[in-house]
Amino acid sequence: MPGGAPDRTASPAAAPARPATGRAGVDSYALVGTALALRGAPYRNGGADPKGFDCSGFTQYVFNQYGVALPRAVREQFQLGKSVKPDDLAPGDLVFFATTERGPSHVAIAVGGDEFVHAPSSTGVVRVEHLGSSYWAPRFLGARRVAPATTH
């Protein structure tokens, strides 16, 4: 998709991190690290593992590594957690876009700053892009925080 960041690939066979434990929440930096380690994994419609991901399969897989169960569909993920204002985005928040239809049709994971990581179909691999790009900014719908985050 146009306007994205340069492709920053890593081995898609990276081992998933162990689930966070305790009531304090999910280590958002570890969760983002797991997502980033999957850069370069191929896009596969209906995919939900490192052999191939679609957007919601990617977010579901990453969050599952930390004991957070997400539903499979983008629209269902959009109903979870609490709404986050764009200025309050934190690493590990889910970000949603309207790409193929009205309403949420694409989901990604906020990395920090202006960046997010996702499984876009047109580029064929999990990659990092910018929220403020000419493609993504007008399609941004909102963000959700689905798990209490810890940062240490």
Which positions are annotated as active-site residues? 55, 106, 118
Q: What 3-state class would DSSP assign to 95?
A: strand
Q: What are 91's strand-pairing partners? A: none
Q: Say which residues have a Cβ less than 8 Å from residue 36's Cβ, sequence separation at least 6.
A: 10, 111, 117, 128
- CA 133-134-139 angle, to 5 degrees, is 90
Q: Please give the structure tokens belonging to residue 74.
A: 């983008």
Q: Are 115 and 98 in contact (CB under 8 A)?
A: no
